Structure 1
Amino acid sequence: MKENDAAKNNDNKEVEVVTGEVLDHTLAVDPASSKSLSFGSFVTKSNDLIQKTKYSLPRTEQKILFMLLSKIDQKKDKDPSKTYTLTFSEFSKLTGVNAMDPGYINYLKDTVQSLERRDFWVVLPDGRYKSMSWLDRGTVVDTRDKTISIRFNRDLWPQVAQLTSNYTSYSIEYLLMMKSTYSMRVYEIILSYDNGSRNYGYNNGLVFEPVTEEILKKFPDMRSELKGYKYKRFKCDELRSLLSVPTPEERGRGKKKNSDEPAKYSREKTLDEKYPTYYDFDKHVLKPAKKEINEMTDLWVEYIPVRIKGTRKYEYLYFFIKYKSKDEMKKVRAFHDSNAGPDGEVAKKPRKTKRKNVGFTAGENVSTPLPDEILTMSYVMARHELESRIQYFSYEKKLVSDEKNILADILTYTSKLLTNQKKAAQAEESLEALNRIIKNNGDLKLWVLGMEEKFKDMLQKATEKKSAQYYRVVVYNELIDNSAATVMAGQRKAEQLDGKSAMRVDMSVFDDE
């Protein structure tokens, strides 16, 4: 950026700050302030890969990708066709899925295959977008050795290996506990624009810079809190776009009915579609990202949205960062230690205890909210998520044939409500209602059992056959308007089955969003 352009980076002048030139430096993370305090393996990416790509990966796939990237030896790995191995145990820890669960292998294969087929979008110099895959085809799942063998896409290799400048490196441990895929992306985007303690004499908005008196005057209510921080101004729309898949127009697809675009993209909504207002963007993206970054990483993060005078739309986001001290990092370490999940692979229990909480602590993770990403899943994957939340296999044998069929239908109706892209508002309302039930009752088991009882009674009284659409409406109405009564019916059913809750297993992170 030219020096005379630097003068424009003041107050309310419009400046390209997200996709601008990137400074060459050997480490984007300051080793004096951060790396010596970090722990675990490191992920390394080129800054171009971080700053000039548009993608939104489901949480589980994002974590698997981070784990694979952490296995690259930046000094020794020179062969782009090298195979990297992920063990079943590592997969279990990443996803929270018990390796002893009957559906474990199928879920593992579906998840890895989904990541293998997942594309992201690179901005070309002329403004067009080029599709590129993260992984090469041909992943091998070995059920005997319990390993997954994966290769990176050759075209991606220069962006993740043998990097000597213009890259960002950060601890994978910071990210693996995060529940929001947006938190992971916001963290790496922030780091890619930071020079640590280096001072190159630039003052043009390209990197984080020390907070000045001029900046403090802009935000007088935050004066005391922002001292010692660095700041960078992002254009709000550009930051949103980095956390999103591109629009059909950006991908060159337009609204052509006969487009040859893969079907999976037709289900993916942009961030503007998912969260059209700043309020929604702040609630679902920025606030969770700030919370998780402040709790789980080496950074303190604050942000302030800014309007242009005379307008109502927030045009800019000022981000403020400060590295944590050694004492503060000890608290981060303690947080990770105290919140570490259980090992996903456990020895098989004797048959007499098979129906109990095999490999899991009662109540662990099943009470976490369903992720927003479930709205973009296929209904089949969403159904797997719901099955895991109610731990269907733990009480399946206690139900008669008709009850099993009804319960299976209810899960299908509910998953189709959640993944119906044509009725996005209804899907989001359903998700909020389910999460309220989880919050109030600890999980979804009683609601599902209550719905099974209601459907059984309704079907017995029916005089004519109804359509699947009719029953989806019934599920929706009961979910929104009558959940308390449904939960009470489920409680009676649970007591009838065995007099106690029998459905607590830690598979709450089936998050193929």
Structure 2
Amino acid sequence: MRGNNLVTKANNLIETPLKLGVVEMRIVIVLISTISPHDDEFKPYRFKISEFAKMIGVKNKNIHQQIKDYTYSLMSQPFYLHDNLQVTWLASAEYFPGEGVVEVEFSPKLRPYLLQLKEKFTTYRLIDIIKLKSAYAMRIYELLKQYERIGSRTFTVQRLKELLGIEDQYPVYADFKKRVLVKAQQEINKHTDISFSFEEMKTGRKITEIKFLLSSKSADAKASVLSDPDKPAGARHHTSSRLRQQLKEEFGLQAKAIDQVLSQYDKHYIAENLDVVRADAKRGRIKDIPAYTMSALKTDYRKKRSGLEEEHIASQQAKQVESDLLESYIHELSQQVRDYITNLSAEHIQQELDGLKYSVRTLGIAIVDDEVTDPFSESGSYFIQYIQKKYFKDYTFERYCEQKADTDARLIDEE
């Protein structure tokens, strides 16, 4: 186990409410960090108990019994991954006292959330979370790390409490702020590769939302591809900004060369050739990485494929592009509706609320006035749907794609 191991989790697993202590959280992320990106199935993962205990911060004399207690807890506390799936983290934990070894296996139902992830996942270094001393800080780090490139993330106070597993605790906001938010901020800003500040937003006199403002610590954020050869670049989600950063920081290209590469080649083509460069670097075949990288991209060092394989890959890439566009459209639409509602006056909200109640009068749906501006409540969800259908029905996916194509074309012309 090394601190520079990577932890990769599906975003919907990160978005799952969890009630875990700090040591249990550490056990989970250490185990995840041992998974190889090439694994198709979970394997039994073996650890020296003494090394394992040191990694997760168990220091008392009877470490064997403590580790047993923690693994038992992870097997006996199911959680919901979605409404119809209850699952535990571990399927088994077997101890070998004569060898000082523990062997653990993940629950098979976790496979889609931890193995062979191609999209909608988040990756961070083990070293950036293992030093955190509270489970709240660890969970907030994961939730914010997802939005690192966006730079901000907003939660209702209630939703954040649910995700942290403390929805029934800290009824006084000042206590929640002091014991959870500020404590997590101090730890994350000190020990991890990101830092954050936060703004409090009110509904009336009550603080109902927290907006986190994120920034990367550039010196720490340079996780080199070449220093982690087992993580295939082609398996990651690539955008132009991420590829630009990779080509500069990880493969040593200058700005002019990067501009040339990004304008000349498709991002999937670039990512797959970077995999080849990485593999050859691992074998010690490269003396000048920037020159070799440019040669790989110019010549195409990828394994030649048959026409059928190329058609299949092109089809998969087209599906991925459409999936990415749809996800961006949903996010953009949701943000526009949310901004629209936020800017409504109290009088206008009441008018829209009356309209919503009238529209569902025959459906037996109860609307709670105080919950209308909470998107995570049932009434809030109905209100959002009502506003979306009333004012944003013309903002279709097709229209979004047309606007994006026009914007992209304009940006290319400006360059």
- In the alignment, structure 1 residue 118 sits paired with structure 2 residue 72: no
Q: Residue by residue, what CA displacement relative to the aligned partner does 1:57-82 show, whole Å, maximum 9, x if unpaired?
A: 011111011100000011x21123x1
Q: Residue by residue, what CA displacement relative to the aligned partner does 1:4-40 show, whole Å, maximum 9, x if unpaired?
A: xxxxxxxxxxxxxxxxxxxxxxxxxxxxxxxxxx961
More contact order relative to length (CA 8 Å, sep ≥ 6): 1
Q: Is contact 1:60-1:94 (8 Å) kept?
A: no
Within a 5 Å distance, the mapping from 1:429-508 to structure 2 comes to none
- In the alignment, structure 1 residue 83 sits paired with structure 2 residue 13: no
- In the alignment, structure 1 residue 305 sits paired with structure 2 residue 205: no
Deviation at 1:108, TM superposition (A): 2.1
Q: Which has the larger share of helix?
A: 2
Equivalent position SS for 1:274? coil
- Partners of 1:98 and 1:242 in 2: how far apart? 29
- Partners of 2:201 and 2:210 in 1: how far apart? 6
Q: Residue by residue, what CA displacement relative to the aligned partner does 1:404-463 show, whole Å, maximum 9, x if unpaired?
A: xxxxxxxxxxxxxxxxxxxxxxxxxxxxxxxxxxxxxxxxxxxxxxxxxxxxxxxxxxxx
- In the alignment, structure 1 residue 234 sits paired with structure 2 residue 196: no
- In the alignment, structure 1 residue 145 sits paired with structure 2 residue 99: yes
Deviation at 1:98, TM superposition (A): 4.2
- Partners of 2:221 and 2:13 in 1: how far apart? 30
Q: Provide the alpha-carbon RMSD of the alignment.
A: 2.3
Identity within the alignment, %: 31
- Partners of 1:240 and 1:146 in 2: how far apart? 39
Structure 1 length-normalised TM: 0.41
Q: Residue by residue, what CA displacement relative to the aligned partner does 1:323-354 show, whole Å, maximum 9, x if unpaired?
A: 11228999xxxxxxxxxxxxxxxxxxxxxxxx
Equivalent position SS for 1:319? strand
Within a 5 Å distance, the mapping from 1:253-332 to structure 2 comes to 271-308=166-203, 311-326=204-219
- Partners of 1:113 and 1:161 in 2: how far apart? 23
Within a 5 Å distance, the mapping from 1:49-448 to structure 2 comes to 49-51=13-15, 53-74=16-37, 76-80=38-42, 82-98=43-59, 101=61, 103-124=62-83, 130-136=85-91, 138-194=92-148, 196=149, 208=150, 230-244=151-165, 271-308=166-203, 311-326=204-219
Equivalent position SS for 2:108? coil
Q: Residue by residue, what CA displacement relative to the aligned partner does 1:276-330 show, whole Å, maximum 9, x if unpaired?
A: 111111111111111111001111210111102xx22211111100111228999
Distance 1:306-1:116 versus aligned 2 partners, 3 A rule: same
Q: Residue by residue, what CA displacement relative to the aligned partner does 1:85-122 show, whole Å, maximum 9, x if unpaired?
A: 122122221344447x2x33222211221122222222
Q: Residue by residue, what CA displacement relative to the aligned partner does 1:127-162 show, whole Å, maximum 9, x if unpaired?
A: xx64211111x3111112211111111111110111
Distance 1:41-1:327 versus aligned 2 partners, 3 A rule: closer
Q: Residue by residue, what CA displacement relative to the aligned partner does 1:148-200 show, whole Å, maximum 9, x if unpaired?
A: 11111111111011111110000111111111001010011112234x3xxxx
Distance 1:78-1:304 versus aligned 2 partners, 3 A rule: same
Counterpart of 1:348?
Answer: none
In structure 2, give the amino acid aligned to 1:313. Answer: K
What count of residue pairs does the alignment treat as equivalent?
222
| Structure 2 residue ranges without an equivalent (≥5) | 224-415
Distance 1:299-1:98 versus aligned 2 partners, 3 A rule: closer
- Partners of 2:159 and 2:143 in 1: how far apart? 12
Structure 2 length-normalised TM: 0.50
